[in-house]
Amino acid sequence: MGKKRLQILTCGLVDGDARAVFKTTDFDFRRYKRLKMFVHAEKVDQSDILEDGDLSLFLRLGSDFTDNYYEYEVPLNLTDWGTSDPYAIWPESNNLDIVLENLVDVKLNRNIAERENAEHIGLTIPYSEMDGDNTITVLGAPSLSDVRAIMIGIRNPKKQSFDDDDDGQPKCAEVWVNELRVTDFDNKSAWAATVRAKVDLADFGNVMISGSKSTPGFGGLESKINDRQKEDITNFDIATNFEVGKLFPEEWGVKVPMHFDYSESRLTPEYNPLDPDINFDKDLESYANQRQKDSVKALSQDLTIRKNINFINVRKDRTGQNMTKQHFYDIENFDVSYSYSEIFHRNIDVEYHLKKTYRGGIGYNLALNPKPVEPLKRMKFLKGKSLRIVRDFNFYYLPKLFSFRMDVNREYSDKLMRNKSRGDVPMRWTWTKKFDWNRTYNLKFDITKGLKLDYKAQANAYVDEPAGRIDNSNAEYMNRYRDSVWQSIFQGGSMNQFDQSIGLNWSIPINKIPIFDWVTANARYQGDYHWSASPQSLQAQLGNTIENSNTLSLNGNVRMEKLYNKVPYLKKINRSSKRRGRGNKRDAGRRGTTAQNPKAKADTTKKDLNIAKAVLDNTLKFLMMWKDGSVTYSQSKGNLMPGFFPEPGALGNNWTQMAPGLGYVFGFENDITKFSDHQSWLSTDTSMNTKTFNKYSTNLNVRATLEPIKDLRIELTATRTYSYTRESYYIYNEDYDRFMEDTPIERGSFSMSFFTLGTSFDKIQDDNSSKPFDNMKNNRLPMAERLARENPYYDGTHNDTTGFPSGYSSSSQDVLHGSFVAAYTNKSVDAIPLNYFPTIPFPNWRVTYKGLSKIPALRKVFKNVTITHSYRSSYSVGSYVSNINFEDLRDIGAPSALNVNGDFINKYDMTLLSIQEQFSPLIKLDMTWNNSLLTNLEFKKSRNLSLSFVNNQLTEVSSNEYVIGLGYRIKNVKFAIKTLGSKGKKKQLNSDLNLKVDFSVRDNKTILRRLDQEIDQISSGQRVTSLNFSADYMVSQKFTIRLYFDRIMNKPHVANQFPNSNTSGGISLRFTLTQ
């Protein structure tokens, strides 16, 4: 435990007194047999009167020093002054050699004597026994399993009588102790075993039996001594699965899956749980009769017994003629399930714990394949294409699917904690009860081929049970219990939660109108409703919570070629282009290698080219560059209303009070003002302080594909996203006798695709200044002037110091917003909209050109050449909140109130405006050479601009990256290697060697720009240069060898960071186990 020496020096130690040192620890001694320590004692002065045995050394182990400890006391023999013999300095008679089991035996003897009501023996009285010439003392309830304190001390034994040899005088001594240590590990053997057996009974079922046992001391090879098992563990399991339906005739189609299992787990501790350092078997032997032993054994063992039986999805399958004929009343539409489980548990802390779970369910599923009714299909006068939209009118009169399921889950648990206070504290039964009743509904109804309805609902209720423990011996209580439960069941239970969802999908038949057959459109409506009960004790006071939402989505696609082909001449041009394209592909492999027919060449020469026609055709092709496009728009709304009293009925609506109405439960009615006229619906309690929420969001995505010339593809995209949440308190106002909205606050965010190309290539100067930022600062005055002109509340005055119009200073939010947008879009302040949330998004694009490889001169060198360019920019409002101090006296949409700084108070407080721009890539060139060489040249550029209204600071993060990549495949590289078991023969390998080199330089900077200070400061950034090389060789389909080398060099742009580099290289082996 420690090899340090410790000196204890005392003088004037009076008779019966002691002095000691101590140390706190946390140690388990149970796996060790002995505790040893060297001890030396001598006089402080040679003339001191001190004899052998006048003093003793004691060692205490326990949870504390005074009330719970073991003590081992050894009389000290003195070493003469001047002695140099090590065996005399550390005499064996002084050595501390404690057999730890003896300490426990003394405590066990004390416990036995206490049980026999011996006089003057108890937990609070020290109990001692001799161990040779040494003394063992125990006090309280110490345990070697959890030693928290160790004390070593010197005692001057108290004179007991006038006749003993003790002179009763104070003593002086110097004592050394050394190497307090544990020895003799407890290495007794332990074992573990597992047995499993399975019996298959043909197709009727199977029986599985398993058992395991492990003894104390068992553990893994890597386990520490104190981590090894300290229990005797016995497990037994039996599980059966039977198809009871096999007992019925096969033509009946009866399916009755049955499962039963029983398991028992018994843990017998190695040590008494109440005295964790006393061996359990030894403790049992200390009891006088078998009844006491059985009682202690039952108290100490940890026993768990599990029983389960279930019948899941009991049903009748369709057989014979019933395979095709379906009726709503068929028994095959039903299925039932039942399960019962029981868990019994007891241990040292729990005297009795029994948990029973009952589950039952019944389901109904009707799946039909109805045929549509098309009453106009055969009418001859509707045969024309223009009347197709009328002729295709159809409807279904039967649903596609209807299902219903009801599940009951009842749980009951009885628990009694074990009384460890010997009756001083009475233990009471505790119990838990749960009786859930869940109902699920599902309906799928195709109203027409293009209009489909999907409805889902789930009701979670609970059956009310009388309070108190279920006691089958109490007839009066059980009668009252049954009456209450059945009454609750007949009433449908008490609703806890109700959820429903309705979806409507419509394929808009606009493409059935001949002139619009190039357009396809879809619409979807999704409405959700949620009802949640409050705690039962608060429902009458604070009501419940309801919430709804709806999402309306519209999607349209256009195929412009179909529109162009309505013009015969344009259709001819498109067809000729496709035929020419197929011919080029077919002849590509023969060009330059096949000799031309001279006669055909002569005939071709004779043909006159119609230049006018070629110019016209190519012009029309260019005008038909728009190939396809799509628009997706979605709008979502929602409401959350607390304090709602009525409970849901069918379709989630309370039909007695018509609350909250079909419009609300189907999601399309979200206005909270409808509740103001129905005071009985909502709680009027003054303690109601839960907010109501209204949510709104829109999302717009526009996409278009352009092909101005062959192999040139331009993809345009535009996006716009806007969302907000309005929260308020909906409180009953007694003066107006109605509910009114109080303290409304609106929070939201906004983003859309943007266009900032005008300033994309403005360079950052050596002093980190920026021309767009300088323009932003200069824009503030003209922007303030424009805002003042357009605000009818402006009084026409200016600030004498700054020259800015009153109400619009240089730090005004509106002024900074307009100046920021104008500067970075490179527009004048009069050309930009003042709205924080513009309506029309700007397009972004991606351009791809693959036509260079078709140029004859380049085709001799390259297989494929692709040029790529991409531009993305976005404008976003990170978050905003409405300002409660905003005023508009004449309701004209302009601010009228001023803040303490003299600026007009905006309707919204913004925290951050940002513009993100990316050229990813600005230009990229991918080349595949005819000799299998791959080349990649790429340049990326990006910048992020964030304007904070909190500190009037602009953060600009810019990045430029150059990438050069090379790749080459060396085909059929052969190696000869020796393999295990080949007896010296070499195996030939033949595979491709893939080489790849990437070199990149990325330079990024973060610059902080202050509006009111001439500060443009780099806060972070670095130039990162990286070189990556790899060579891959596939030995087999599952084994690959890779050689690699990577080097990354960083050169920071700030002074408080240092350049660094990282180099790595090596070889990796990849083995794929599965494919």
782-795 per-position pLDDT tens digit: 999 999 999 999 99
pLDDT, tens digit, for every residue of 867-895? 999 999 999 998 899 999 999 999 998 99
**470-518 tens-digit pLDDT:** 888 888 889 999 999 999 999 888 999 999 999 999 999 999 999 999 9
pLDDT at 721 over 70: yes
Average pLDDT, stretch 590-602?
A: 46
Phi, psi of 887, deg, nearest 5 = -135, 145
Tokens of 65: 């020093």
DSSP letters, 859-899, are HTTEEEEEEEEEEEEEEEEEEEEE-TT---TT-SSS---B-
Nearest alpha carbon to residue 193 among 215, 216, 222: 215
* Predicted confidence (pLDDT) at residue 593 exceeds the cutoff of 70: no
* Beta strand 712-733 pairing with 1039-1052: unpaired
pLDDT > 90? residue 664:
yes
**Structural domains for the chain:** 2-185 (2.60.120), 757-1071 (no CATH)
Contact 648, 655 (CB under 8 A): no
Q: How many residues does the chain have?
A: 1075
| Model pLDDT for residues 950-995, shown as the tens digit of each residue | 999 999 999 999 999 999 988 888 877 766 655 667 777 888 889 9
Confidence of residue 588 (pLDDT cuts 50, 70, 90): very low
pLDDT digits (tens, 9 = 90+) for 200-233: 999 999 999 999 999 988 887 777 777 788 899 9
Comparing CA positions, the residue from 750, 726, 752, 728 lying closest to residue 741 is: 728
Beta bridge partners of 214: 192, 233
Is pTM beyond 0.95 here?
A: no
Q: Tell me: the pLDDT tens digits for 942-962?
A: 999 999 999 999 999 999 999
Q: Which alpha helices (DSSP H) does 512-610 contain, by range?
A: 539-542, 560-564, 568-587, 598-606
- Could you tell me which of 1002, 1023, 959, 954 has the C-alpha nearest to residue 769? 954
